[in-house]
Amino acid sequence: MLLTGASGYVGGRLVRLLERQPVALRCLARSPDKLRPIVRECTQVARGDVLDPPSLAGAMRGVHTAYYLVHLMSDSKDFEKEDRQAATNFAGAAREAGVRRIVYLGGLGDDADPNLSPHLRSRHEVGDILRASGVETIEFRAGMVIGAGSLSYQLMKSLTDRLPVMICPRWLTTATQPVAVDDVLAYLLAARELPASGSRTFEIGGPDVLTYADLIREYARQKGLRRWLIFVPVLTPYLSGLWLALVTPAKFEVGRHLIEGLKNPTVVRDKTALGVFPVRPMGVTEALRKAIADTTE
Protein backbone atom coordinates (compact mmCIF):
# COMPACT_ATOMS: atom_id res chain seq x y z
CA MET A 1 0.00 0.00 0.00
CA LEU A 2 1.26 3.47 -0.89
CA LEU A 3 0.38 6.70 0.91
CA THR A 4 1.12 10.15 -0.48
CA GLY A 5 0.66 13.29 1.60
CA ALA A 6 1.83 11.66 4.85
CA SER A 7 3.34 14.98 5.96
CA GLY A 8 -0.04 16.73 5.68
CA TYR A 9 -2.77 16.91 8.30
CA VAL A 10 -5.11 14.19 7.00
CA GLY A 11 -2.28 12.03 5.66
CA GLY A 12 -0.34 12.31 8.90
CA ARG A 13 -3.30 10.98 10.85
CA LEU A 14 -4.12 8.33 8.27
CA VAL A 15 -0.60 6.90 8.37
CA ARG A 16 -1.03 6.07 12.06
CA LEU A 17 -4.26 4.19 11.32
CA LEU A 18 -2.80 2.31 8.37
CA GLU A 19 0.18 1.24 10.47
CA ARG A 20 -2.26 -0.69 12.65
CA GLN A 21 -3.61 -2.61 9.67
CA PRO A 22 -2.19 -5.97 8.51
CA VAL A 23 -0.64 -4.43 5.38
CA ALA A 24 2.81 -3.44 4.18
CA LEU A 25 2.78 0.36 4.13
CA ARG A 26 5.00 2.59 2.01
CA CYS A 27 4.96 6.41 2.15
CA LEU A 28 6.08 8.66 -0.69
CA ALA A 29 8.15 11.64 0.45
CA ARG A 30 10.23 14.32 -1.22
CA SER A 31 12.36 14.44 1.93
CA PRO A 32 12.43 10.96 3.48
CA ASP A 33 14.70 12.13 6.32
CA LYS A 34 11.93 14.41 7.59
CA LEU A 35 9.23 11.73 7.44
CA ARG A 36 11.27 8.79 8.76
CA PRO A 37 11.23 9.89 12.45
CA ILE A 38 7.41 10.17 12.57
CA VAL A 39 6.50 6.75 11.13
CA ARG A 40 7.07 3.28 12.52
CA GLU A 41 10.19 1.29 11.66
CA CYS A 42 8.09 -1.21 9.71
CA THR A 43 6.79 1.56 7.42
CA GLN A 44 8.80 2.02 4.24
CA VAL A 45 9.64 5.55 3.14
CA ALA A 46 10.31 5.96 -0.58
CA ARG A 47 11.91 9.06 -2.03
CA GLY A 48 9.71 10.50 -4.76
CA ASP A 49 7.93 13.59 -6.06
CA VAL A 50 4.62 13.61 -7.92
CA LEU A 51 6.07 16.29 -10.23
CA ASP A 52 9.00 14.00 -11.12
CA PRO A 53 7.59 11.00 -13.06
CA PRO A 54 10.76 8.81 -13.02
CA SER A 55 10.82 8.96 -9.21
CA LEU A 56 7.40 7.30 -8.96
CA ALA A 57 8.14 3.98 -10.63
CA GLY A 58 10.01 2.39 -7.73
CA ALA A 59 7.54 3.67 -5.15
CA MET A 60 4.63 2.11 -7.05
CA ARG A 61 6.24 -1.32 -7.46
CA GLY A 62 4.13 -4.07 -5.86
CA VAL A 63 1.42 -1.67 -4.68
CA HIS A 64 -2.24 -2.73 -4.74
CA THR A 65 -3.85 0.44 -3.29
CA ALA A 66 -2.45 3.98 -3.51
CA TYR A 67 -3.80 6.89 -1.46
CA TYR A 68 -3.55 10.22 -3.27
CA LEU A 69 -3.72 13.01 -0.69
CA VAL A 70 -1.65 15.55 -2.58
CA HIS A 71 -2.66 19.19 -2.98
CA LEU A 72 -0.10 21.74 -4.20
CA MET A 73 -2.08 24.88 -3.34
CA SER A 74 0.36 25.96 -0.63
CA ASP A 75 3.51 25.30 -2.64
CA SER A 76 2.74 26.76 -6.06
CA LYS A 77 1.90 30.05 -7.72
CA ASP A 78 -0.07 28.10 -10.34
CA PHE A 79 -1.51 25.28 -8.29
CA GLU A 80 -4.12 24.31 -10.90
CA LYS A 81 -1.41 23.60 -13.49
CA GLU A 82 0.82 21.75 -11.04
CA ASP A 83 -2.03 19.73 -9.51
CA ARG A 84 -3.03 18.73 -13.05
CA GLN A 85 0.51 17.65 -13.88
CA ALA A 86 0.99 15.86 -10.56
CA ALA A 87 -2.24 13.87 -10.98
CA THR A 88 -1.30 12.96 -14.55
CA ASN A 89 2.12 11.73 -13.44
CA PHE A 90 0.74 9.75 -10.53
CA ALA A 91 -2.08 8.18 -12.54
CA GLY A 92 0.30 7.16 -15.32
CA ALA A 93 2.78 5.62 -12.90
CA ALA A 94 -0.02 3.74 -11.11
CA ARG A 95 -1.29 2.33 -14.39
CA GLU A 96 2.18 1.24 -15.50
CA ALA A 97 2.88 -0.43 -12.14
CA GLY A 98 -0.39 -2.36 -12.17
CA VAL A 99 -1.88 -0.59 -9.14
CA ARG A 100 -5.42 -1.85 -8.64
CA ARG A 101 -7.00 1.07 -6.78
CA ILE A 102 -6.43 4.78 -6.12
CA VAL A 103 -8.17 6.44 -3.16
CA TYR A 104 -8.43 10.22 -3.47
CA LEU A 105 -9.78 12.96 -1.18
CA GLY A 106 -11.24 15.86 -3.17
CA GLY A 107 -13.79 18.61 -2.56
CA LEU A 108 -17.54 19.08 -2.75
CA GLY A 109 -19.15 21.53 -5.16
CA ASP A 110 -21.42 21.38 -8.18
CA ASP A 111 -19.56 20.66 -11.44
CA ALA A 112 -22.31 22.48 -13.31
CA ASP A 113 -21.72 25.72 -11.37
CA PRO A 114 -20.05 28.19 -13.78
CA ASN A 115 -18.73 30.14 -10.79
CA LEU A 116 -17.03 27.21 -9.10
CA SER A 117 -13.87 28.48 -7.41
CA PRO A 118 -10.46 27.58 -8.90
CA HIS A 119 -9.69 25.55 -5.78
CA LEU A 120 -12.79 23.34 -6.09
CA ARG A 121 -12.54 23.15 -9.87
CA SER A 122 -8.99 21.86 -9.53
CA ARG A 123 -10.03 19.28 -6.92
CA HIS A 124 -12.61 17.88 -9.34
CA GLU A 125 -10.20 17.93 -12.27
CA VAL A 126 -7.70 15.82 -10.32
CA GLY A 127 -10.40 13.21 -9.74
CA ASP A 128 -11.18 13.16 -13.47
CA ILE A 129 -7.52 12.65 -14.33
CA LEU A 130 -7.11 9.78 -11.89
CA ARG A 131 -10.21 8.01 -13.24
CA ALA A 132 -9.11 8.53 -16.84
CA SER A 133 -6.00 6.43 -16.13
CA GLY A 134 -8.12 3.29 -16.13
CA VAL A 135 -7.09 2.49 -12.55
CA GLU A 136 -10.14 2.04 -10.32
CA THR A 137 -10.45 5.33 -8.42
CA ILE A 138 -12.45 5.89 -5.25
CA GLU A 139 -12.94 9.64 -4.87
CA PHE A 140 -14.33 11.18 -1.70
CA ARG A 141 -15.64 14.73 -2.01
CA ALA A 142 -15.73 16.64 1.26
CA GLY A 143 -16.45 20.19 2.29
CA MET A 144 -14.79 21.85 5.27
CA VAL A 145 -12.91 19.32 7.38
CA ILE A 146 -13.26 20.13 11.07
CA GLY A 147 -10.09 19.20 12.92
CA ALA A 148 -7.35 20.95 14.84
CA GLY A 149 -4.88 20.88 11.94
CA SER A 150 -7.26 21.54 9.06
CA LEU A 151 -6.39 24.78 7.23
CA SER A 152 -10.03 25.77 6.73
CA TYR A 153 -10.72 25.16 10.42
CA GLN A 154 -7.61 27.10 11.43
CA LEU A 155 -8.71 30.05 9.28
CA MET A 156 -12.14 30.12 10.94
CA LYS A 157 -10.53 29.72 14.37
CA SER A 158 -8.07 32.58 13.79
CA LEU A 159 -10.80 34.94 12.60
CA THR A 160 -13.16 34.11 15.46
CA ASP A 161 -10.51 34.15 18.19
CA ARG A 162 -9.13 37.55 17.14
CA LEU A 163 -12.07 39.57 15.83
CA PRO A 164 -14.83 40.55 18.31
CA VAL A 165 -16.63 42.23 15.40
CA MET A 166 -16.42 40.72 11.92
CA ILE A 167 -17.27 42.51 8.69
CA CYS A 168 -18.59 39.61 6.64
CA PRO A 169 -19.63 39.20 2.98
CA ARG A 170 -23.16 38.03 2.25
CA TRP A 171 -21.79 34.78 0.88
CA LEU A 172 -20.80 33.78 4.41
CA THR A 173 -24.43 32.65 4.49
CA THR A 174 -23.70 30.02 1.80
CA ALA A 175 -24.79 26.51 2.76
CA THR A 176 -22.09 24.03 3.73
CA GLN A 177 -21.97 20.53 5.21
CA PRO A 178 -18.72 20.15 7.15
CA VAL A 179 -17.31 16.81 8.24
CA ALA A 180 -15.15 15.85 11.21
CA VAL A 181 -11.61 14.72 10.42
CA ASP A 182 -12.22 11.45 12.30
CA ASP A 183 -15.05 10.65 9.91
CA VAL A 184 -12.96 11.51 6.84
CA LEU A 185 -10.30 9.11 8.12
CA ALA A 186 -12.92 6.41 8.69
CA TYR A 187 -14.09 6.72 5.08
CA LEU A 188 -10.53 6.65 3.73
CA LEU A 189 -9.71 3.58 5.78
CA ALA A 190 -12.92 1.78 4.76
CA ALA A 191 -12.17 2.39 1.07
CA ARG A 192 -9.37 -0.16 1.33
CA GLU A 193 -11.94 -2.93 1.89
CA LEU A 194 -14.49 -1.80 -0.70
CA PRO A 195 -15.25 -4.62 -3.20
CA ALA A 196 -13.96 -3.90 -6.70
CA SER A 197 -16.72 -2.45 -8.86
CA GLY A 198 -15.08 0.26 -10.95
CA SER A 199 -14.39 3.90 -10.19
CA ARG A 200 -16.86 5.63 -7.89
CA THR A 201 -17.29 9.09 -6.39
CA PHE A 202 -18.76 9.52 -2.92
CA GLU A 203 -19.89 12.81 -1.41
CA ILE A 204 -19.30 12.86 2.34
CA GLY A 205 -20.36 15.25 5.07
CA GLY A 206 -21.72 15.40 8.58
CA PRO A 207 -25.46 15.37 9.32
CA ASP A 208 -25.71 19.18 9.67
CA VAL A 209 -26.24 21.62 6.81
CA LEU A 210 -25.56 25.18 7.97
CA THR A 211 -23.73 28.34 6.96
CA TYR A 212 -20.18 29.47 7.63
CA ALA A 213 -21.64 32.18 9.84
CA ASP A 214 -23.38 29.46 11.87
CA LEU A 215 -20.06 27.66 12.24
CA ILE A 216 -18.40 30.82 13.54
CA ARG A 217 -21.22 31.36 16.04
CA GLU A 218 -21.07 27.76 17.30
CA TYR A 219 -17.30 27.87 17.65
CA ALA A 220 -17.57 31.17 19.55
CA ARG A 221 -20.29 29.73 21.81
CA GLN A 222 -18.14 26.74 22.73
CA LYS A 223 -15.14 28.98 23.41
CA GLY A 224 -17.21 31.37 25.51
CA LEU A 225 -16.60 34.29 23.13
CA ARG A 226 -19.06 37.06 22.30
CA ARG A 227 -18.85 37.80 18.59
CA TRP A 228 -20.83 40.10 16.30
CA LEU A 229 -21.11 39.49 12.57
CA ILE A 230 -21.94 42.48 10.34
CA PHE A 231 -22.83 41.51 6.78
CA VAL A 232 -21.95 43.63 3.73
CA PRO A 233 -22.79 42.92 0.05
CA VAL A 234 -19.18 42.16 -0.97
CA LEU A 235 -15.85 41.62 0.71
CA THR A 236 -13.56 44.27 -0.74
CA PRO A 237 -9.86 43.55 -1.29
CA TYR A 238 -9.13 45.78 1.69
CA LEU A 239 -11.40 43.83 4.03
CA SER A 240 -10.15 40.55 2.60
CA GLY A 241 -6.62 41.70 3.37
CA LEU A 242 -7.59 42.44 6.97
CA TRP A 243 -8.96 38.93 7.32
CA LEU A 244 -5.92 37.29 5.79
CA ALA A 245 -3.54 39.36 7.90
CA LEU A 246 -4.68 37.13 10.75
CA VAL A 247 -3.13 34.02 9.24
CA THR A 248 0.58 33.39 8.89
CA PRO A 249 2.32 34.64 5.72
CA ALA A 250 3.03 31.06 4.66
CA LYS A 251 -0.71 30.38 4.58
CA PHE A 252 -1.76 33.71 3.06
CA GLU A 253 -2.20 32.37 -0.46
CA VAL A 254 -3.96 29.23 0.75
CA GLY A 255 -6.32 31.34 2.84
CA ARG A 256 -7.18 33.51 -0.14
CA HIS A 257 -8.17 30.48 -2.22
CA LEU A 258 -10.19 29.01 0.64
CA ILE A 259 -12.07 32.28 1.16
CA GLU A 260 -12.82 32.44 -2.58
CA GLY A 261 -14.42 29.01 -2.29
CA LEU A 262 -16.83 30.07 0.46
CA LYS A 263 -19.23 31.48 -2.15
CA ASN A 264 -19.86 27.98 -3.55
CA PRO A 265 -22.38 25.73 -1.75
CA THR A 266 -20.62 22.59 -0.50
CA VAL A 267 -23.50 20.31 0.36
CA VAL A 268 -23.88 16.54 -0.07
CA ARG A 269 -26.42 15.92 -2.82
CA ASP A 270 -25.73 12.21 -3.28
CA LYS A 271 -25.97 10.27 0.00
CA THR A 272 -24.77 6.96 -1.45
CA ALA A 273 -21.80 6.88 0.95
CA LEU A 274 -24.12 6.30 3.91
CA GLY A 275 -25.41 3.12 2.30
CA VAL A 276 -22.02 1.80 1.20
CA PHE A 277 -19.84 2.50 4.25
CA PRO A 278 -20.51 1.81 7.95
CA VAL A 279 -19.48 5.38 8.87
CA ARG A 280 -22.07 7.49 10.69
CA PRO A 281 -20.60 11.02 10.81
CA MET A 282 -20.82 13.13 13.95
CA GLY A 283 -22.58 16.48 14.05
CA VAL A 284 -20.97 19.92 13.99
CA THR A 285 -21.29 20.49 17.75
CA GLU A 286 -19.32 17.35 18.59
CA ALA A 287 -16.82 17.88 15.75
CA LEU A 288 -16.02 21.41 16.97
CA ARG A 289 -15.81 20.22 20.57
CA LYS A 290 -13.22 17.61 19.60
CA ALA A 291 -11.24 20.07 17.45
CA ILE A 292 -11.12 22.63 20.26
CA ALA A 293 -10.02 19.96 22.74
CA ASP A 294 -7.29 18.74 20.38
CA THR A 295 -6.06 22.32 19.92
CA THR A 296 -5.74 22.98 23.64
CA GLU A 297 -4.02 19.67 24.51
pLDDT per residue rounded down to tens, the chain (297 residues): 999 999 899 999 999 999 999 999 999 999 999 999 999 999 999 999 999 999 999 999 999 999 999 987 555 567 889 999 999 999 999 999 999 999 999 999 988 888 888 889 999 999 999 999 999 999 999 999 999 988 888 888 888 888 888 877 777 788 999 999 999 999 999 999 999 999 999 999 999 999 989 999 999 999 999 999 888 776 655 556 556 665 544 454 555 656 666 778 899 999 999 999 999 999 999 999 999 999 865
Reported CATH class of domain 2-144+179-206+265-281: alpha beta
> Edge-to-edge strand order for the sheet containing 2-3?
44-47, 26-29, 2-3, 65-68, 101-107, 136-142, 200-204
pLDDT of res. 113: 85
pLDDT at 249: 46
pTM: 0.92
CA distance 276 to 201: 12
Residue-level pLDDT at 250: 43
d(CA 41, CA 285): 37
CA distance 251 to 2: 28
* pLDDT recorded at residue 119: 83
Taking CA atoms, 236 is separated from 119, 139, 144, in Å, by: 20, 35, 23
* Spatial distance between the Cα atoms of 43 and 51, rounded to a whole number of angstroms: 23
Picking from 95, 75, 24, 83, the residue whose alpha carbon sits closest to that of residue 51 is 83
pLDDT at position 262 is 72
HSE value, Cβ hemisphere, 13 Å, CA-based, for 149: 10
The answer for residues whose C-beta is within 8 angstroms of residue 19's C-beta and 6 or more apart is 25, 39, 40, 42, 43
- What do you get for the CA distance between the two ends of the chain, in Å? 32
